[in-house]
Amino acid sequence: MEKRLSRRNSLIALAGLAAAAAGWRAEEAEAGPAAVASGAVSCVLTPEMTEGPYYLPDEAVRRNITEGRPGTPLALRLTVVSVASCKPIASAKVDVWHADASGIYSGVQGDTGTFMRGIQPTNAHGVALFDTVYPGWYTGRTVHIHVKVHLGGNVVHTGQLFFPDALTDAVYAKSPYSNRPSRDTRNAADSIFRNGGSRSMLRISRRGSGYVGAITLGVHRS
């Protein structure tokens, strides 16, 4: 709480300077820190979580990251907003990476592939879209997707996205996931999920033979 207050105070102090700052959008200055401080706007800061050992920089810019690998189709709809104003952030670069259906990350541990990794820019509505498959599990972790948000050359968010356990159970009951042993870790037992994972849950809806996973990521612009 103390940290949040000091952040808020520094935002209030900055508010007067903000209008003059290059790159600060006019509408954000209007609805920004002062509005947040007054309670007129509230936006949820998406929790920061470890990037883990499998991040690789310079991933390909592409919407479909599967490279033809099997799995239950999953469309990701990731919306990036400023936590100060709740307004969408356009032209951010959203970077995702996750294990394939068999629980393998590309490009690490001797693998030379690039599957299940990619970057998409946000559009004018702050939305980045990916087409992938439901991730497989690996030892000691609940099912998750890693995400970074880059803005103007800076990383403004590093997090992980999670799925309802009941949905994972249903997906994993089918091929190719059902060819593997049962996963060893569910959300409640995952050390990373326990630190804010409930605020990083994808909202799931059905689409065709698969799903759409959507979430709004509230980030600081720097």
Residue nearest to Fe ion (CB): 52
Terminal Cα-to-Cα distance of the chain (whole angstroms): 20
Q: How far is the CB of 18 from Fe ion (least distance, A)?
A: 36
Residue 90-119 contact track with Fe ion, rule CB under 5 A, x = bound? ------------------------------
Nearest-5° angle of CA 79, CA 85, CA 91? 45
Q: How far is the CB of 40 from Fe ion (least distance, A)?
A: 38
Nearest-5° angle of CA 42, CA 44, CA 49? 160
Name the 3-class secondary structure at 55.
Answer: coil
User: Is the preceding peptide bond at 121 cis, omega within 30 degrees of 0?
Assistant: no
Residue 40-79 contact track with Fe ion, rule CB under 5 A, x = bound? ------------x---------------------------
Residues in the interface with Fe ion (CB under 5 A) total 1
Residue 174 CA to its chain's centroid (Å): 25
Q: Which is nearer to Fe ion, 47 or 52 (CB)?
A: 52
Q: How far is the CB of 52 from Fe ion (least distance, A)?
A: 5
Q: How far is the CB of 189 from Fe ion (least distance, A)?
A: 15
Q: Smallest Cα–Cα separation from 156: which of 69, 48, 66?
A: 48
Where does this chain bind Fe ion (CB under 5 A)?
A: 52
